[in-house]
Amino acid sequence: MFDRLSRSWNLVKASAGVLVQDEELLVFPLLSAICTVLVAAAFVLPALGLGALDGLRSDGGGISVLAYVLGFLFYLVQYFVIFFFNSALVGAALIRLDGGNPTLRDGLRIASSKLVPILGYAAIAATVGLILRSLQERSGWLGRIVAGMLGVAWTLATFLVVPVLVSRDIGPIDAVKESALLLKRTWGENLIGQGGVGLVFGMIFVALSVVAVVVIVFAAMSGSVMVIGSVAALLVIAFLLVALTHAALSGIYSAALYRYAMGAEAGSGFDGHLLQQAFATK
């Protein structure tokens, strides 16, 4: 357990080394977050204003066809935005790992050149998401468990889809197949146990939450509106920075693991031995 935690921390530090060289990579997850909020508002606010959500259920109490259509469109646009900026992040990270000096324009250029594959992958992900959501709603607690397990399997199988799409001239279906093949061939069940980035940031979020509660209590005891407002603003910024850093490091990490899986060197800022451990099979 301690070896896994240590390895996870070393991988985060190695990814952070790349991020330190290109701090502007944080802009990509920030733009993604802003755009996803705007997309959600574009779907939800008009629906609420027009009362469109009132008639989403059919007479039998189930979800109507209109609800599924709107749900699919929402998933499609959201996933497209997320995958677009993630492709920009991964593309820029690959340039850095190859020894280059990427810019924001480089990342956006790479993502823009892959608009059609990204849209196709978004459509696939939206379909899967809608199916899982339907399974959750129609099958009770058992359906939620099954849908959760299928969701985890889908996430693992598609972990390298974006690096594949960015690096190769193939379609989304072939990219999904390639990602699943790379997972089966190199990681297997060790992805969760030895990947570690999510575990480390989960611990950081928990620690930050505890600190936030303590700070808010002391701020409230002061009785000063200015102090409370300032503390709240600082905490929001802190959580946002941690979330953006997590997203950026995950993109860098996926780019490095893809290069390693394809037989390339670990790349700038990465310890090849640590990556070899991440790919170890039992």
pLDDT value, residue 91:
94
Q: How many domains does the chain have?
A: 1
One-letter amino acid of 121: Y
pLDDT value, residue 100:
86
Report the alpha-carbon distance of residue 81 to residue 111 in Å, rounded: 11
Torsions phi, psi for 232 (to 5 deg):
-60, -45
Torsions phi, psi for 57 (to 5 deg):
-90, 140
Report the alpha-carbon distance of residue 156 to residue 188 in Å, rounded: 9
Report the alpha-carbon distance of residue 222 to residue 21 in Å, rounded: 41
Q: Any idea which residue has 């959501």 for tokens?
A: 133
User: Is the distance from CB of 258 to CB of 167 less than 8 angstroms?
Assistant: yes
Report the alpha-carbon distance of residue 43 to residue 238 in Å, rounded: 29
Q: In the structure encoding, which two tokens stand for residue 78, read together?
A: 């959201």
pLDDT value, residue 87:
96
Q: In the structure encoding, which two tokens stand for residue 95, read together?
A: 């340039």
The three-state (H, E, C) secondary structure of the chain, written as one string = CHHHHHHHHHHHHHHHHHHHHCHHHHHHHHHHHHHHHHHHHHHHHHHHHHCHHHHCECCCCCECHHHHHHHHHHHHHHHHHHHHHHHHHHHHHHHHHCCCCCCHHHHHHHHHCCHHHHHHHHHHHHHHHHHHHHHHHHCHHHHHHHHHHHHHHHHHHCCCHHHHHHHCCCCHHHHHHHHHHHHHHHHCCHHHHHHCHHHHHHHHHHHHHHHHHHHHHHHHHHCCHHHHHHHHHHHHHHHHHHHHHHHHHHHHHHHHHHHHHCCCCCCCCCCHHHHHHHCCCC
Report the alpha-carbon distance of residue 88 to residue 101 in Å, rounded: 14
pLDDT value, residue 130:
87
pLDDT value, residue 282:
44
Report the alpha-carbon distance of residue 84 to residue 31 in Å, rounded: 10
pLDDT value, residue 184:
72
Beta bridge partners of 63: 57
Q: Give the structural domain span for 49.
A: 2-278
Low-confidence ranges of the chain (pLDDT < 50): 58-61, 188-190, 193, 281-282
* 185-241 tens-digit pLDDT: 655 444 554 566 777 788 899 999 999 999 999 888 888 888 888 989 999 999 999
Q: In the structure encoding, which two tokens stand for residue 181, read together?
A: 């093949």
Cα 58 to Cα 48, 62, 89, 157, 184: the distances in Å are 18, 5, 42, 35, 42
pTM of the model: 0.82
Beta bridge partners of 57: 63
pLDDT value, residue 17:
80
